[in-house]
Amino acid sequence: MPNQNSLSLYEKCWYKHNFKRVTDILILFLLISLLCYRIISLNHYSFTWFVALTCELWFTFSWIFIFTSQWTPAIVKTYPDRLLQRVQDLPAVDLFVTTADVLLEPPIITLNTVLSLLALDYPTNKLSCYVSDDGCSPLTLYSLQQASNFAKLWILFCKKYHVQVRAPFRYFCDEQPQASTYKHSTPEFRQEWLEMKEMYDDLSRKIEEASNKSNPWQLDGEFAVFSNTDRKNHPTIIRVIWGNKERLLDGLPQLIYISREKRPKHPHHFKAGAMNVLTRVSGLMTNAPFMLNVDCDMFVNNPNIVQHAMCILLDSIGEKEVAFAQCPQQFYGALKDDPFGNQMVMLFKYIGAGIAGLQGPFYSGTNCFHRRKVIYGLSPHNIEKGTSHFLYIVIISVFKDTVINQRGDYIYVLYILVLLADLAGNKISEKELKQIFGGSEELVKSVALALEGKSYVADDDINVPKVLDAATQVANCGYEYATGWGQQVGWMYGSITEDVQTGLTMHRKGWRSEMCTPNPIGFTGCAPNCLPNAMTQQKRWATGMVEIFFSRHCPIFATLFGNLSFRMFLAYMWIIDWGLRPIFETFYISLLAYCIITNSTFFPQGLGLWIPVTIFTIHMVYTLSEYLVSGLSIRAWWNNQRMSRIKMVNVVGFLSALFKLLRLSDTVFEITRKDENSSENGVHDLNVGRFTFNESPVFVAGTTILFMQLVAVAIKLLGLQPIKSGDNGCGIGEILCSVYLIICYWPFLRGIFEKGKYGIPLSTIYKSAFLVFLFVYLCRGSVVG
């Protein structure tokens, strides 16, 4: 029998999809054949030929990014029973919850997330929950205070009856019919269940009443600090709602409210800035070696998720190689057949598992366990060389990043000089340390201890007023100036998708990451339940990816000058393609209408036409089979195919990033609305799943594409095309593709004739009509020319 101490705490198992591999290679072969056809038909060179070749070349690259990313899928199996036998004293974990808008992210949702975290099956004296309120709302603080009273009894109830879903909203929404069949369905349980539900309903009622009042409290006492504040202009506010000073095992985890300082003329760096403030404040107050960050709408679905993550992070190999453990996102209350294509079931099943088999999954911004040392800038190759060596690397990286395209010989000379100085007894000074982590002496001490794997200070020695003063200092908006925060340490700045950029920085240093997928899954959340929210989310992701691609954090640089593996580089290019592909997709779709209007063609002629036909047929049939094998419906498959066409012409994200790069405008972080209602909580709306629209510019592109195809088909049917001799006129291929697009955009066509929120606003219709008129005019002009 093997020694328990010699067994791994987790194992990674690779598996193969042989049929999928064959299909992927076949499609790649056909794409390359199409490119070869374009090249050998050089004698047919024209504007349409050049545009088609450019777009198809990028589509081929995109396909390479996709199929190489899912070539070697893997799953991770954890063994928490071995962890409990081997580790007697589990490490502390700081829990981060971020919220930014009390209207778009209702406090009741944030409250449920916090309650589910406080009720984790983990020693409560090892947990501390920090809630970042970037909206600076007294309602959020009030809700947390009320929730702390309920949490004392809720935690006892969950652990007594081994409740799995520990967000009260999810637990009580459909639990009444199950109470009689619950395995603990005794009179005592039923009585406690009813009492807990009544208390939660009372808590929800209080928060709802407070939300509906314009001025729910007199802003005095502890709420006086919120007087004359604005969400973009307010001082730092930190409140210890519940402090487990005695560190009792059966007590309540610490709960701290933080609203960092914001001023109009100071950049706050969106969520990345909030995460860095949470890191600094928690470093002063608890300094746990591990940190879990979740969005305000991500509830704990597996109360043992921390133990599963610790299996990865505390394993003998994981301690040296793994920077973070990422739990996948899954969503509760999913609409039937996924009408807006945002459940991403197939994406996590194939792409997610494939990337897990490479250098590790991307950091997706939520449900992620981080190693504090890594957030502080530690690299795997210097993890055992102490804080002094680490500081050399950080200082050198500051210079190296500024001259990434230049020769850096002097950097290594600098390193040798500093190393020799250290050997002579001259350690890195506290002044140099403060240049990286800021001017707080208390924070610098906590950073040094964290890098050495030590706790901050003994609990008896904590001076609470002094700690709060220091925490307020590091949460001020000017603290990061002339430091390494957001550049070399902490969450990275420069992109509104700070999660992908931060994870890329860790992978560039040589760290790996692992996917934590216990059964049941660790977290569940709410996905956007209407088209405007889905399109806004897509726009934000696209903008962030373009920002990363044109920055010094680009995966190309991470591979050439860092330790990012080549296949991981291709995987990152797949996700960055979300921001770049809309340009090529829009040009390709516009080319269809151009060829119909001008009576020309860009598809291959003769037998060559079968190449794109075969690609389209194989791809559609194979993706359909994947959905059916996964237990999803044909309708769900079609909804996702349709939404992929609609989302992929959302060029607003690319343009937003382009305008920022040209310094014509600043990036705007648009928060996705969170709604607690779902199809499972008794809401049966016949209009659920219908497309709704608003005046957002994200709908201009889709409406324009629809008008463009309708006009092109009308011109063909009415015989208004210019007459051309020979076989170079518009063929059946262009017409069929145009009709296919009209079918994909059928909800937009309905929206033109609908009213209210189900109708496309007139302003959007006018903008699209003008763009199509201009497009047709230019097409006609090219024929005359």
Which residues are CB-neighbours of 449 under 8 A, at least 6 positions away? 287, 455, 456
499 in active site: yes
Q: How far is CA 1 from the centre of its chain?
A: 43
Nearest CA-CA partner of 704 in 628, 616, 770: 770
Say if residue 624's pLDDT is above 70. yes
Nearest CA-CA partner of 695 in 762, 741, 641: 762
**pLDDT tens by residue, 44-55:** 677 888 899 999
Got the DSSP string for 615-664? HHHHHHHHHHHHHHHTT--HHHHHHHHHHHHHHTT-THHHHHHHHHHTTS
State the amino acid at position 118 in one-letter form: L
134 in active site: yes
Overall size of the chain counted in residues: 785
Say if residue 421's pLDDT is above 80. no
Say if residue 380's pLDDT is above 90. no
Q: Is 257 helix (H, G, I), strand (E, B) or coil?
A: strand
Report the C-alpha gap between 751 and 753 in whole angstroms. Answer: 5
Report the C-alpha gap between 455 and 449 in whole angstroms. Answer: 6
Residue 209's H or E segment, with its range, is helix 187-212
Task: Specify binding-site residues for UDP-alpha-D-glucose.
Answer: 105, 134
> What is the arithmetic mean of pLDDT over 158-187?
72
Got the DSSP string for 118-137? HT-SS-GGGEEEEEEETT--
Q: How confident is the model at residue 429 (pLDDT cuts 50, 70, 90)?
A: low
Q: How confident is the model at residue 625 (pLDDT cuts 50, 70, 90)?
A: very high
Q: pLDDT value at position 439?
A: 87
Higher pLDDT, 650 or 509: 509
Residue with tokens 């049929």: 19
Question: What is the maximum span of the chain, computed from C-alpha positions, in angstroms?
Answer: 92
Report the C-alpha gap between 202 and 170 in whole angstroms. Answer: 16
Task: Specify binding-site residues for Mn(2+).
Answer: 271, 295
> Which tokens sit at 292?
């879990």
- Which one-letter DSSP state was computed for residue 525? B
Report the C-alpha gap between 669 and 543 in whole angstroms. Answer: 10
- The CB density around residue 209, as the number of other CB atoms within 10 Å, is 10
- The active-site residue out of 94, 133, 499, 577 is 499
Q: pLDDT value at position 126?
A: 93
Report the C-alpha gap between 253 and 560 in whole angstroms. Answer: 45
Q: Is 161 helix (H, G, I), strand (E, B) or coil?
A: coil
- The active-site residue out of 24, 94, 133, 134 is 134
Report the C-alpha gap between 25 and 36 in whole angstroms. Answer: 16
Q: pLDDT value at position 416?
A: 37
Strand pairing category for 74-78 and 10-14: antiparallel
Q: How confident is the model at residue 83 (pLDDT cuts 50, 70, 90)?
A: very high
Supply the mean pLDDT for the chain: 85
> What is the arithmetic mean of pLDDT over 98-102?
92
**pLDDT tens by residue, 296-348:** 999 999 999 999 999 999 998 989 999 999 999 888 877 888 888 888 888 88
Task: Specify binding-site residues.
Answer: 105, 134, 271, 295
Say if residue 120's pLDDT is above 60. yes
Helices 732-744, 566-597: inter-axial angle, 10-degree rounding = 110
> Which tokens sit at 34?
């199409």
> What is the arithmetic mean of pLDDT over 152-170?
91
Share of the chain above pLDDT 90, in %: 58
Rg of the chain on CA atoms, in Å: 28
- Low-confidence winner among 266-270, 594-598, 648-652, 684-688 (lowest mean pLDDT): 684-688
Report the C-alpha gap between 621 and 609 in whole angstroms. Answer: 19
Report the C-alpha gap between 517 and 523 in whole angstroms. Answer: 10
Its pTM stands at 0.90
- Which one-letter DSSP state was computed for residue 760? -
**pLDDT tens by residue, 211-230:** 876 555 556 667 888 888 88
Q: How far is the CA of 275 from the CAs of 458, 543, 663, in angstroms?
A: 25, 20, 26
Say if residue 63's pLDDT is above 90. yes
Say if residue 152's pLDDT is above 60. yes
- Low-confidence winner among 140-154, 340-354, 555-569 (lowest mean pLDDT): 340-354
